[in-house]
Amino acid sequence: MAAYLPLPKGLPGRAGAAVPLAERDRAWAAAIRAGDAAAFEALFRAYKNDLVAFVASLVDSRETGQELVQDLFLRLWQQRERWDCAGEVNTYLFRAARNRAISHLRHQRIERRFRERLGGGERVAVHGAVRPTDERVRLRDVRDAVDRAVESLPTRCREVFRLRRYHQLSNAETAAVLGISVSTVEVQMTRAIAALRRRLADFRA
């Protein structure tokens, strides 16, 4: 993720000037608390995709991930005047998104106690008109192998790896999102990389 981006029109800063993301986010947060809908939309667009991907990886459903993230931003806007974001805005958003994912999964577990669990979701196979090349097949195999390898990591290890590598959070930001120490993030990341190297050894040969 780039360290600097221009501020949108109407927010603090010289027109067209590049500012650090943290400063940009704080300006958006202040504007949102004042009822600035344009700042809210800018914040939503900046983080929507990363948050949806993160939540979807936790709940195993992109559609549910989208719904939970939309609900997160809806609540944020409804309670904007009372929004007290201590620390960095991106850390707040990822932590809030993770909490919603956990609540969703907890609710699902409770529901399963009262009804029979349905079979696994259907896997829809899409058959393209053009036969994939050998290279495409290999890339798909590698991607699938990486996904399986990441899924095989212990829960905490997997969360750390995804936040650091997929969503490009720093060690400190990852620690704040998960409520753990920076040293724990470093240890878990080291374990994740070692485990992935072992699982993907055949593809690295």
Give the span between the Cα atoms of 192 and 189, in whole angstroms: 5
Give the span between the Cα atoms of 87 and 164, in whole angstroms: 18
Angle at CA of residue 90, ends 150 and 16, nearest 5°: 120
- Taking each helix axis as running N to C, give the angle between helix 134-151 and helix 182-199, from 0 to 180 degrees, rounded to the nearest 10: 140
Q: Which is nearest to 29 in space by CA: 69, 71, 70, 86?
A: 86
pLDDT 10s digits, 95-108: 999 999 988 888 77
Say how many domains are in the chain: 2
pTM of the model: 0.61
54 part of a folded domain: yes
Could you tell me the pLDDT band of residue 17, with boundaries at 50, 70 and 90? very low
Residue 18: which residues within 8 A CB-CB, separation 6 or more?
A: 4, 5, 6
The domain that contains 97 carries what CATH number?
1.10.1740.10
pLDDT 10s digits, 150-166: 888 999 999 999 888 88
Please identify, among 60, 92, 116, the residue that sits at the C-terminal boundary of a domain. Answer: 116
198 part of a folded domain: yes
Q: Kindly state whether residues 79 and 152 are assigned to the same domain.
A: no
Q: Which single residue is written with the structure tokens 């993030």?
A: 185
Query: Is 56 in contact with 62 (CB distance < 8 Å)?
Result: yes
pLDDT 10s digits, 41-84: 999 999 999 999 999 988 888 999 999 999 899 999 999 998 88
